[in-house]
């Protein structure tokens, strides 16, 4: 797949295929996102959704949220609920990871893996359209 910056899409957008469809959808909704070929990172308040190739095969939607703090704020609780709702509304194999590589800044990742990139993109668009756009 060729990559290049494309007027309405930040970064190096996909020029065709399912990733392009997702990136055009996000651009048309005014979403904050980055594109690097088929990888797309969507920024929400307090969390990130990344759609990418999965190392070892398949494709994934990865929700990442900061889970630090002893007394989470209302904003942090809202972000966690939003992120979990999105991740658990996408079909596929689900796994959870805690990244503690930055002291005091643990990150929860919810990874949803599918074999079909087309199906993953359809699910992501369906979920984002339902809950955010």
**Domain locations in the chain as residue ranges:** 38-131
Note the pLDDT of residue 90. Answer: 97
CA dihedral of 133, 12, 52, 40, whole degrees rounded to 10: -20
pLDDT at 4 over 60: no
Note the pLDDT of residue 67. Answer: 85
Give residue-wise pLDDT tens across range 98-126: 999 998 889 999 999 999 999 999 999 99
Give residue-wise pLDDT tens across range 41-78: 999 999 999 999 998 889 999 999 988 776 778 888 89
Assess contact for 120 and 59: CB atoms under 8 A.
Answer: yes
């Amino acid at each position: 797949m060729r990559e290049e910056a494309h007027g309405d899409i930040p970064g190096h957008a996909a020029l065709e295929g399912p990733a392009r469809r997702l990136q055009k959808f996000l651009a048309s909704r005014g979403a904050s996102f980055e594109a690097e070929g088929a990888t797309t990172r969507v920024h929400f308040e307090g969390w990130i959704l990344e759609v990418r190739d999965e190392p070892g095969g398949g494709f994934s939607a990865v929700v990442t949220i900061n889970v630090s703090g002893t007394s989470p704020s209302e904003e942090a609780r809202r972000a966690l609920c939003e992120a979990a709702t999105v991740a658990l509304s996408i079909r596929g194999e689900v796994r959870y990871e805690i990244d503690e590589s930055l002291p005091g800044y643990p990150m929860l990742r919810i990874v949803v893996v599918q074999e079909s990139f087309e199906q993953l993109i359809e699910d992501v668009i369906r979920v984002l359209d339902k809950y955010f756009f």
